[in-house]
Amino acid sequence: MSEKENWTTIITPKNSFFRLNLKELWQYRDLITSFVKRDITSTYKQTILGPLWFFIQPIFTTIMFLIVFGNIAKIPTDGVPQVLFYMNGIILWNYFSKCLVSTSNTFVANSAIFKKVYFSRLTIPLSNVISALVQFVIQLALFIIILIAYKIHEADFKLSFAVFAVPLFVLQMAVLGLGIGLIITSLTTKYRDLTHLIGFAVQLWMYATPIVYPLSMVPEKWRSLYVLNPVVPILESFKHAFFSTGMPSLTEYGISIAMTIFLLFAGIFVFNFVEKNFVDTV
């Protein structure tokens, strides 16, 4: 019976309920790199502006916000220069929404390939999150350049120590987007309604976060409810890092972290549950 140990793969009807199978994911690390490379190189192939598109999108959104919310609606920005205020929110929100939307399309968008070969399914959402990160970093660099330009001219804001924690904020955004995305993609295998929902839900969600307006504009009695939105403390901290606008309270941030972790595990749980047989239902 010693040979029993020699089986490299055992196929059974169901995955154990919570088995991350990190070892297998690790074996496919080259695949993740390949997917990331594919995503980045293929996105702007055969375009004139190429990687410049990475910049164009946040710049134009910022200009839009500047006109609509800054100059027409005249929403204050807590003393932060409007350009920086909007761009700060936009790039991190973009990263989050990209993680969320691409992850939530995992099964539907890749069903053709999933139907044909087996590889660790988690490689797809992970590579999405990573390739979105590349875009984010490039946009962050743009933001920092503009920040420095402003700093030279007018210095009425200052960096805070939280700037060192920026990678952590970004990580949390990625994890949050991934967790929610995993849940949604698992459900889309049965209910396609969600693919239609997710596109505009993300847009609506943006208005429930302090991107076009500061957190201080939210009425005090609603604030405790408002910060239950797990994205809010992250965006606020990210803003604080560059403009010292004030960190959210520890409780507020704690709730956000707890929700992030919960959603990640719930996401992996349902994803694991669905991935084995989704081919038959999708």
Partner 1 sequence: MSDTVIKVENISKFYQLGLINHGTLAKDLQGWWAKIRGKEDPNSRVSLLSSAKNNSDNDFIYALKDVSFDVKQGEVLGIIGANGAGKSTLLKILSRVTSPTSGCIKIKGRIGSLLEVGTGFHPELTGRENIYLNGAILGMRKHEIDKKLDEIIDFSGVEKFIDTPVKRYSSGMYVRLAFAVAAHLDPEILVVDEVLAVGDADFQKKCLGKMDDVSKKEGRTVLFVSHNMAAVRQLCTRGILLRNGELVFNGDVNDCINGYAQTSITNLISHAFITPDMHASGFSNEITIEEATLLNDPAEMSTDEPIEIELVLKNHFSKATQCRYSVNIFDETDMRIIGYVSEEIPIPQNKETFKVRCQLENHSLTKRRYKMSLNVGYKDFGTNVKNFDVVKGGVLTFEIKYLNKKSKSEYVCWNRNWGAVIHQGCNINVEVL
Please say which residue, 220 or 280, places its beta carbon nearer to partner 1.
280
Q: What is the longest distance spanned by two Cα atoms in the chain?
A: 77
Q: Return d(Cα 235, Cα 8) in angstroms, integer.
A: 45
Whole-number minimum distance, CB 15 to partner 1, in Å?
8
Site string for partner 1, 33-52 (x = CB under 8 A): xxx-xx--xx--xx------
Q: Could you say which DSSP state residue 35 is in?
A: H
Q: Which amino acid is at 25?
A: L
* Residue ranges with strand state E in 92-212: none
Whole-number minimum distance, CB 76 to partner 1, in Å?
41
For partner 1, the binding residues in 186-245 under the rule CB under 8 A are 190-191, 193
The verdict on 119 binding partner 1 (CB under 8 A) reads yes
Whole-number minimum distance, CB 107 to partner 1, in Å?
13
Q: Which of 175, 37, 25 is nearest to 100 (CA)?
A: 175
The verdict on 19 binding partner 1 (CB under 8 A) reads no
Handedness of CA 118, 119, 120, 123 (dihedral sign): negative
Q: Are 61 and 68 in contact (CB under 8 A)?
A: no
Out of 1, 8, 152, 154, name the contact with partner 1 by CB under 8 A.
8
Q: Which parts of this chain interact with partner 1 (CB under 8 A)?
A: 3, 6-14, 27-28, 30-31, 33-35, 37-38, 41-42, 45-46, 113-119, 190-191, 193, 276-277, 279-281
